[in-house]
Amino acid sequence: MWWAQEILSDTDRPQWAWVPFESVGPLRFGQSVDEVAAALDESIYSFDSDEQRVQFAGLGVDTYYSRDDRTLAAVAVDACRGPQVRHEATRLVGRLPSELTPWIESAAESLEDMPQGLNGLRIGLNGEAGLPGLGLVMRCQQNGDYCRTRPVLVAREWAEGSADSWEGPIPQREWSSF
């Protein structure tokens, strides 16, 4: 199919750990664009100042930056070729959405005691699950006849409205391109 990309196996992907609100692999929320490029040891493929987005093409990672201080506020991982990101033992990238449903429901239940706005599960206008208490929006990326998981992991400052594609902090390009 012309619209389907090869999905890299986990063994062919870099393996990253995700610590909610702190880090995604070698990236730390709050880093500058230059610090992110150095941490990835990658050159910048493209920079979109309107969307505050920097793309690192070779790695399958899009990074989004706060408009206020231009520091790392979100990391989106390509479902087909991005690093495999794990939260504890759970693989988050390139999976069928239904494979992660039990994990998302369990994680949402564990967040019920969080402050209002961060507790529980949010379903965005696109039908994608958000866990603001972890700083996760589980986006889907079309690949041929299937969708695969494309997690967007956000800093605490972006967490509360992160599943809202209309008014939330994640730039529109992320919602309209995948």
Complete DSSP assignment for 22-80: TEETTEETT--HHHHHHHHT---SEEETTTTEEEEGGGTEEEEE-TTT--EEEEEE-TT
pLDDT digits (tens, 9 = 90+) for 8-54: 899 999 999 999 999 999 999 999 999 999 999 887 777 777 668 88
pLDDT digits (tens, 9 = 90+) for 83-109: 999 999 999 999 999 999 999 999 988
Within the chain, what is the greatest distance between any pair of CA atoms?
A: 46
